[in-house]
Amino acid sequence: MNSNRKLKNLICVVLIVALIFSLTACGDGEPAFKGHNVVLTFAGENISLGEVYLYANTVIEDYESVYGNEIWSTDISISRDATANMEDVTRRDIIDNIVHIKLLKKKAPEYKVALSDDEMNEVIRATDSFYEKLTDDQLEEMELDYDTVKKVMEENAIAKRVYDEIIGEADIEVSDEEARETTFYDLYFECYAVASSGDVTEFSEDEKAAQYERALQAYNTLINPIESTTNDGTSSKKSNSMNIEGLAEYYGLKNSSYYTMTPSEIEGIYGKDICDSLYGLEDGSYSLVTESEYGYHIFYMKELTDRDATDNHKLDIITSKKNSYMEELYAEWLPKIDNGYSYEKSVDFGIYNRIEF
């Protein structure tokens, strides 16, 4: 997967984690502004600099702790042929996340979501704990107060409750086949050389033939058991089948390795014919010497369905489907709740930019 796309996807994760402490209660009361600067107005509600800062600050700290403070000048891929500045992307995602919270809160009556006394008490405890950690500089410069922190806590809680109701009704499921991850070993006899300059030179026909012979020797070693003498003087046959990595070392095959991939990834790298042949193997079995445009391969099928990798991939797909499902709902709700809203026109960037990245 493209590393830039991973970085982009992490933004949404961090936004959720940043406020996970707050997903326990909500109210729909009026915001306490007292003259606070407004970053944007959505559905008739003024959203203050302090409120936006609560969402933004943890995102900033989390990213910089991993990637350093130069991350914000990085350009990331946002589509096949387009890139964007990381700070610009993150700023927009923060505002989008806030708008989504507001949309979900507006839907609370429709889904009959209300908070219990216990949940409200948890909000108060979480608000107290978080507010105590804010510095005097943060409180003054970002115009923060206790009521703003509590408001964010409450709204996130009700939003999560509504979100859970919606996703529960959607009944999103993913099959093992859809999420399958396959683990195999590629004993790879390459038929090209790469110079230190990066130039690639294809092997001559004689060199390719020599590689093919080496691949055949390796295959015979893998599938034919060897005879050894036991302590009592009798002989027994043991298979070399689990010594494929040793063969890679013996033949100096530095590009041989175990891989865990989806069927589409396998097909994208090796082609459909090889992909089909791999899925014709059984766990613990070997392919014949197989030719690709890159050279010769012997594949050892460790697990057609790698259970752990498949389960993790399944969670990723479910998360992606949930996000896509919710994005469709947000797009449907937005013009009904605030038809005039747009990020470019509704955000006061002069005030928003007081939050430094």
Q: How many residues does the chain have?
A: 357
Give the residue from 190, 186, 243, 185 showing the smallest Cα distance to 212: 190
In a domain, 223, yes or no: yes
Distances in whole angstroms, Cα of residue 191 to Cα of each of 210, 254, 300, 353 = 10, 13, 20, 55
Last residue of a domain, one of 282, 304, 326: 304
At 125, is the pLDDT very low, low, confident or very high (cuts 50, 70, 90)? very high
Task: State whether 261 and 168 are in the same domain.
Answer: no
Encode pLDDT of 216-270 as tens digits. Answer: 999 999 988 666 555 555 555 554 444 899 999 999 999 999 999 999 999 999 9
Q: 152 and 17, same structural domain?
A: yes
Residues 239 and 159 in one domain: no
Among the candidates 304, 320, 344, a domain finishes at 304
Q: Is 194 in the same domain as 163?
A: no
Choose the weakest-confidence range: 43-57, 60-74, 214-228, 290-304. 214-228
Structural domains in the chain (count)? 2
Phi, psi of 331 (to 5 degrees): -65, -30
Residue 357 belongs to some domain of the structure: no
pLDDT at 237 (0 to 100): 53
Q: How far is CA 170 from the centre of its chain?
A: 22
pLDDT tens digit sequence for 160-186: 999 999 999 998 999 999 999 999 999
| Tokens coding 16 | 């959720």
Strands (E), 9-65: 38-42, 45-48
What domain range includes position 297? Answer: 182-304
> What is the pLDDT at residue 224?
85
Asked if residues 155 and 101 have their Cβ atoms less than 8 Å apart, the reply is yes
Q: Within this chain, do residues 134 and 15 fall inside the same structural domain, yes or no?
A: yes
* Cβ–Cβ < 8 Å for 33, 50: no
Of the listed ranges 6-20, 34-48, 261-275, the least confidently predicted one is: 6-20
Lookup result for tokens 């529960």: 168
Determine contact, residues 251/218, Cβ cutoff 8 Å. yes
Please give the biggest Cα pair distance in the chain.
Answer: 93
Does the residue 227 lie in any domain? Answer: yes
pLDDT of residue 94 exceeding 90, the answer is yes
- Name the packing angle between helices 3-18 and 49-67 (round to 10°): 130
pLDDT given at position 37? 93
Q: Are residues 80 and 161 in the same domain?
A: yes
Burial 188-225 (b: 16+ CB within 10 A, else e): bbbbeeeeeeeeeeeeeeeebeebbebbeebbebbeee
The rounded distance, in Å, linking the Cα atoms of 18 and 29 is 23
Q: Do 105 and 64 belong to one domain? A: yes
Q: Whole-angstrom Cα distance, residue 162 to residue 168?
A: 10
Contact call for residues 26 and 154 (beta carbons, < 8 A): yes
Q: What is the pLDDT of residue 196?
A: 86
Domain assignment present for residue 313? The answer is yes
Which element (helix H / strand E) includes 298?
Answer: strand 295-303
pTM for this predicted structure: 0.74
User: pLDDT digits over 104-121, tens only?
Assistant: 999 999 999 999 999 999
From 38, 52, 160, select the one nearest 96 (Cα to Cα). Answer: 52
Residue 30 lies in a domain: yes
CATH of the domain at 209: 3.10.50
Structure tokens at 285: 């079995």
Question: Phi, psi (5° rounding) for residue 191?
Answer: -120, 40
